[in-house]
Protein backbone atom coordinates (compact mmCIF):
# COMPACT_ATOMS: atom_id res chain seq x y z
CA UNK A 1 0.00 0.00 0.00
CA UNK A 2 1.44 3.36 -1.06
CA UNK A 3 2.34 5.80 1.68
CA UNK A 4 1.00 9.34 1.67
CA UNK A 5 2.64 12.70 2.37
CA UNK A 6 2.72 14.84 5.48
CA UNK A 7 2.60 18.53 4.45
CA UNK A 8 4.96 20.73 6.47
CA UNK A 9 2.71 23.77 6.11
CA UNK A 10 5.75 25.76 5.00
CA UNK A 11 4.89 27.71 1.89
CA UNK A 12 7.31 26.84 -0.91
CA UNK A 13 8.93 23.87 0.84
CA UNK A 14 6.13 21.40 0.17
CA UNK A 15 6.28 22.13 -3.55
CA UNK A 16 9.99 21.24 -3.50
CA UNK A 17 9.40 17.85 -1.85
CA UNK A 18 6.35 16.49 -3.69
CA UNK A 19 3.84 17.76 -1.15
CA UNK A 20 5.55 17.11 2.17
CA UNK A 21 7.54 14.49 4.06
CA UNK A 22 6.85 10.88 3.13
CA UNK A 23 4.57 9.30 5.72
CA UNK A 24 6.21 7.25 8.51
CA UNK A 25 9.72 8.55 7.87
CA UNK A 26 12.47 10.08 9.99
CA UNK A 27 13.47 13.53 8.74
CA UNK A 28 16.33 15.77 9.80
CA UNK A 29 16.83 19.53 9.69
CA UNK A 30 20.22 21.04 10.47
CA UNK A 31 21.51 24.58 10.68
CA UNK A 32 23.47 27.08 12.78
CA UNK A 33 21.97 29.16 15.58
CA UNK A 34 19.34 31.56 14.25
CA UNK A 35 18.57 29.64 11.07
CA UNK A 36 14.93 28.82 12.09
CA UNK A 37 15.37 25.10 12.86
CA UNK A 38 13.05 25.12 15.88
CA UNK A 39 10.45 27.18 14.03
CA UNK A 40 10.45 24.60 11.24
CA UNK A 41 9.92 21.81 13.78
CA UNK A 42 7.01 23.55 15.44
CA UNK A 43 5.46 24.62 12.14
CA UNK A 44 5.44 20.98 11.03
CA UNK A 45 3.72 19.90 14.26
CA UNK A 46 1.27 22.81 14.30
CA UNK A 47 0.24 22.23 10.68
CA UNK A 48 -0.64 18.63 11.49
CA UNK A 49 -2.76 19.65 14.46
CA UNK A 50 -4.52 22.65 12.95
CA UNK A 51 -4.97 21.66 9.32
CA UNK A 52 -4.99 17.85 9.30
CA UNK A 53 -6.43 16.79 12.65
CA UNK A 54 -3.26 14.94 13.63
CA UNK A 55 -2.12 15.01 17.24
CA UNK A 56 1.49 16.15 17.52
CA UNK A 57 4.30 15.92 20.06
CA UNK A 58 7.08 18.52 20.35
CA UNK A 59 9.89 17.64 22.75
CA UNK A 60 12.35 20.40 23.63
CA UNK A 61 15.56 19.60 25.46
CA UNK A 62 17.15 23.04 25.44
CA UNK A 63 14.74 25.92 24.80
CA UNK A 64 12.42 26.56 27.78
CA UNK A 65 8.70 26.02 27.22
CA UNK A 66 7.87 29.63 28.09
CA UNK A 67 10.18 30.88 25.34
CA UNK A 68 8.62 28.56 22.77
CA UNK A 69 5.09 29.65 23.68
CA UNK A 70 6.04 33.30 23.45
CA UNK A 71 7.86 32.89 20.13
CA UNK A 72 5.13 30.84 18.48
CA UNK A 73 2.43 33.24 19.69
CA UNK A 74 4.19 35.91 17.63
CA UNK A 75 3.49 33.77 14.54
CA UNK A 76 -0.16 33.27 15.46
CA UNK A 77 0.30 29.67 16.64
CA UNK A 78 -2.10 28.95 19.50
CA UNK A 79 -0.17 26.14 21.17
CA UNK A 80 -1.88 26.28 24.56
CA UNK A 81 -5.33 26.10 22.97
CA UNK A 82 -4.49 22.81 21.27
CA UNK A 83 -2.74 21.51 24.38
CA UNK A 84 -5.94 22.04 26.34
CA UNK A 85 -7.85 20.16 23.65
CA UNK A 86 -5.41 17.24 23.92
CA UNK A 87 -4.22 17.63 20.34
CA UNK A 88 -0.70 18.86 21.05
CA UNK A 89 1.91 17.90 23.63
CA UNK A 90 4.73 20.38 24.27
CA UNK A 91 7.17 18.71 26.64
CA UNK A 92 10.06 20.69 28.10
CA UNK A 93 12.53 18.09 29.37
CA UNK A 94 14.73 20.83 30.77
CA UNK A 95 11.88 21.91 33.05
CA UNK A 96 11.31 18.28 34.09
CA UNK A 97 14.97 18.03 35.08
CA UNK A 98 14.85 21.32 36.97
CA UNK A 99 11.77 20.24 38.94
CA UNK A 100 13.46 16.96 39.79
CA UNK A 101 16.38 18.98 41.22
CA UNK A 102 19.02 17.00 39.35
CA UNK A 103 22.33 18.44 38.25
CA UNK A 104 22.94 19.38 34.64
CA UNK A 105 25.18 16.33 34.21
CA UNK A 106 22.66 13.95 35.78
CA UNK A 107 19.82 15.46 33.77
CA UNK A 108 21.26 14.76 30.31
CA UNK A 109 18.90 12.36 28.54
CA UNK A 110 20.11 9.44 26.43
CA UNK A 111 18.26 7.88 23.49
CA UNK A 112 17.10 4.89 25.51
CA UNK A 113 15.37 7.08 28.09
CA UNK A 114 13.95 9.29 25.34
CA UNK A 115 12.59 6.20 23.58
CA UNK A 116 10.83 4.99 26.72
CA UNK A 117 9.32 8.43 27.30
CA UNK A 118 8.18 8.79 23.70
CA UNK A 119 6.72 5.29 23.63
CA UNK A 120 4.49 6.17 26.59
CA UNK A 121 3.48 9.50 25.05
CA UNK A 122 2.57 7.83 21.76
CA UNK A 123 0.47 5.18 23.47
CA UNK A 124 -1.31 7.87 25.46
CA UNK A 125 -1.89 10.40 22.68
CA UNK A 126 -2.05 8.48 19.40
CA UNK A 127 0.16 11.18 17.87
CA UNK A 128 1.11 10.94 14.19
CA UNK A 129 3.74 13.70 14.12
CA UNK A 130 6.75 14.14 16.41
CA UNK A 131 9.49 16.78 16.55
CA UNK A 132 12.56 16.47 18.79
CA UNK A 133 14.65 19.57 19.42
CA UNK A 134 17.43 18.63 19.52
CA UNK A 135 19.53 15.55 18.76
CA UNK A 136 22.54 17.68 19.67
CA UNK A 137 21.42 17.85 23.31
CA UNK A 138 20.83 14.09 23.50
CA UNK A 139 24.28 13.48 22.03
CA UNK A 140 25.89 15.07 25.10
CA UNK A 141 24.95 11.90 27.01
CA UNK A 142 27.51 10.02 24.89
CA UNK A 143 30.23 12.67 24.99
CA UNK A 144 32.92 10.14 25.88
CA UNK A 145 31.75 7.41 23.51
CA UNK A 146 31.23 8.42 19.85
CA UNK A 147 30.78 4.75 18.89
CA UNK A 148 27.93 4.32 21.35
CA UNK A 149 26.31 7.54 20.13
CA UNK A 150 26.24 6.16 16.59
CA UNK A 151 24.80 2.80 17.68
CA UNK A 152 22.12 4.35 19.92
CA UNK A 153 21.12 6.92 17.30
CA UNK A 154 20.60 4.18 14.70
CA UNK A 155 18.55 2.15 17.21
CA UNK A 156 16.44 5.21 18.03
CA UNK A 157 15.78 5.89 14.34
CA UNK A 158 14.67 2.26 13.89
CA UNK A 159 12.28 2.67 16.82
CA UNK A 160 10.76 5.80 15.27
CA UNK A 161 10.21 4.04 11.93
CA UNK A 162 8.38 1.18 13.65
CA UNK A 163 5.88 3.52 15.32
CA UNK A 164 3.90 4.68 12.27
CA UNK A 165 4.77 8.31 12.94
CA UNK A 166 6.41 10.99 10.84
CA UNK A 167 9.30 12.52 12.76
CA UNK A 168 11.34 15.68 12.36
CA UNK A 169 14.64 15.68 14.26
CA UNK A 170 16.51 18.94 14.80
CA UNK A 171 20.29 19.10 15.00
CA UNK A 172 22.76 21.95 14.83
CA UNK A 173 25.67 22.57 12.51
CA UNK A 174 28.85 24.44 13.18
CA UNK A 175 29.43 27.27 10.73
CA UNK A 176 32.40 26.57 8.50
CA UNK A 177 32.62 22.94 9.60
CA UNK A 178 30.48 19.83 9.03
CA UNK A 179 26.77 19.87 8.17
CA UNK A 180 25.69 18.27 11.48
CA UNK A 181 27.11 18.48 14.99
CA UNK A 182 28.24 14.85 15.17
CA UNK A 183 28.64 14.12 11.46
CA UNK A 184 26.38 11.03 11.59
CA UNK A 185 22.82 12.31 12.02
CA UNK A 186 22.18 12.64 8.28
CA UNK A 187 22.88 8.93 7.70
CA UNK A 188 20.01 7.71 9.89
CA UNK A 189 17.40 10.01 8.35
CA UNK A 190 15.19 9.47 5.32
CA UNK A 191 15.47 13.14 4.45
CA UNK A 192 17.99 15.85 5.24
CA UNK A 193 17.26 19.57 4.99
CA UNK A 194 20.06 22.07 5.56
CA UNK A 195 19.33 25.61 6.68
CA UNK A 196 21.99 28.24 6.17
CA UNK A 197 22.91 31.76 7.28
CA UNK A 198 25.07 33.58 4.77
CA UNK A 199 26.67 36.98 5.10
CA UNK A 200 25.91 38.94 1.94
CA UNK A 201 27.44 42.44 2.01
CA UNK A 202 27.04 42.63 5.79
CA UNK A 203 23.47 41.29 5.82
CA UNK A 204 22.55 37.76 6.92
CA UNK A 205 20.58 35.78 4.36
CA UNK A 206 18.73 32.60 5.34
CA UNK A 207 18.71 29.68 2.90
CA UNK A 208 17.27 26.16 2.60
CA UNK A 209 18.61 23.17 0.67
CA UNK A 210 17.04 19.71 0.45
CA UNK A 211 20.15 17.53 0.36
CA UNK A 212 18.40 14.17 0.67
CA UNK A 213 14.82 12.91 0.41
CA UNK A 214 14.16 9.19 0.06
CA UNK A 215 11.00 8.01 -1.72
CA UNK A 216 10.61 11.50 -3.19
CA UNK A 217 11.38 13.39 -6.35
CA UNK A 218 12.77 16.62 -4.95
CA UNK A 219 14.55 19.84 -5.75
CA UNK A 220 18.23 20.06 -4.66
CA UNK A 221 18.78 23.77 -5.31
CA UNK A 222 19.58 26.27 -2.57
CA UNK A 223 16.60 28.60 -2.04
CA UNK A 224 16.00 31.78 -0.01
CA UNK A 225 14.17 31.25 3.28
CA UNK A 226 12.12 34.07 4.77
CA UNK A 227 10.53 34.47 8.19
CA UNK A 228 7.14 36.19 8.00
CA UNK A 229 4.51 36.98 10.61
CA UNK A 230 3.02 33.50 10.12
CA UNK A 231 6.26 31.50 10.11
CA UNK A 232 8.66 30.23 7.48
CA UNK A 233 8.28 30.77 3.75
CA UNK A 234 10.62 29.33 1.12
CA UNK A 235 11.05 31.08 -2.23
CA UNK A 236 10.70 27.95 -4.35
CA UNK A 237 11.04 29.87 -7.64
CA UNK A 238 14.22 31.67 -6.58
CA UNK A 239 17.72 30.20 -6.32
CA UNK A 240 20.75 31.28 -4.33
CA UNK A 241 24.11 31.22 -6.07
The verdict on pTM exceeding 0.75 is yes
Q: What percent of the chain has pLDDT over 70?
A: 94
Helices then strands, each counted (H, E), the chain: 9, 11
Question: Which of 215, 19, 45 is closest to 128 using CA atoms?
Answer: 45
- Beta strand pairing call for 26-31 and 21-22: unpaired
Q: Which domains does the chain have, with CATH numbers?
A: 5-234 (3.40.50.300)
CB of 184 within 8 A of CB of 41? Answer: no
Question: Which of 184, 201, 200, 203 is closest to 192 using CA atoms?
Answer: 184
pLDDT single digits (tens) 88-146: 999 999 776 665 444 444 457 899 999 999 999 999 999 999 999 999 999 999 989 99
Amino acid sequence: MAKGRKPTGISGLDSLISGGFAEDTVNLVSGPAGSAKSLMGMQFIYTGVKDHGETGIYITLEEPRVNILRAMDAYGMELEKYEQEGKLILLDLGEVRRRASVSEEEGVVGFEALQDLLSNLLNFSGAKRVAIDSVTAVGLYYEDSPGKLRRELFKFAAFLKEKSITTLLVTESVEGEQLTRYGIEQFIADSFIVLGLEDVKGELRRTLTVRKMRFTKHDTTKHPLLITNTGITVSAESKVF
